Structure 1
Amino acid sequence: MSKMIQRLNINEQISYLKVGIELGIFSVSDAAQWADDQIATQEDPAYELIELSLMSDSNRYEIADQLVRIGAPSLNPAEVLPCLLAKAHKRLLNEPDFGRILAEGLYRSWSASIYDFPEILSPCGYFDDAYSLAENGVYGTTDQITRELLEFTSRFKNCAELFSA
């Protein structure tokens, strides 16, 4: 996983990691590595952090739940999405099939917010339905939707500096 800039406190890091895991941007192994990194810097790490470090066989939703046991996310999804979408953009350039996974995650996040994202994030509710329509031959193609998703995520490229290589 890209290292998060050290200026973020642990609850802010949890915010990014939790939403990133739920969207499929970060993997289970990314979360375990983050936990390992946290453990290495602490004299007496919390049991929940140690558990996360050992959860490599878990699914992303179990990981997201465990993150909340470690600390309370201090930022809401709408606050972290722009920088996560910058990271997703880079991945989409190399893995177009990731678009479908991202679209599903964006829709879940948008609906969990009770459809209350800022205007710039309003397309988050569009892509999952668009992929479904394209896959069923009703409207458009999946390649077209992936291009639209790439165009949408490119708006957030300036947020990429949150993550180092």
Structure 2
Amino acid sequence: MSRRTEETDEPLDDRPTDAEKTGWKATLEELDALADERRADGWDVLTTLAGDTAPEPPEAGETDRFGLVHIVPGDDADRLTDLLETIDIDEFEAYRRTVGTTCFLLTELRDTETRQCVLVASAYDVGDAEALATHAADVGHLFTRFQRLDGTPVAEIRHDSYEKLLPPSLTD
């Protein structure tokens, strides 16, 4: 591996650090454990891993939509679309850890009447969430948004108690 010098345009090494790998691994382990726990309690559970997550304030996009935007893979997007058309998300929980500048997030969306839930593992850069946190504080809510890789919207969920989706450093 060569080092970046003034004579080359070679990019810096942007591979995940060991701490970030450990944070992601722990998030996936929590996803599996929580899914098993819910299923043991009689819940139907859909799990997905966001291929990418971006904290998007209204001024970042072509529309005024804002929130934590999760890119979900095709088959998961299809299942998520079908499920969210038939249930009513009335509770959510978020489990997060921050490692360096990365927030690892496990979001649980629940329909308590039908005992169905969606678990989403994701990670995003805390610095990218500052403008979103400011906007959410101004308007009093935040959205979890799902979309396909090509940008096609899948679903969005509004959270009036959004603080647990963001690191405490952005909501205190």
**TM-score, normalised with respect to structure 1:** 0.30
| Larger RCO (CA within 8 A; separation ≥ 6) | 1
Specify the structure having the higher radius of gyration (Cα). 2
- Pick the structure with more helix per residue: 1
**TM-score, normalised with respect to structure 2:** 0.29
- Pick the structure with more strand per residue: 2
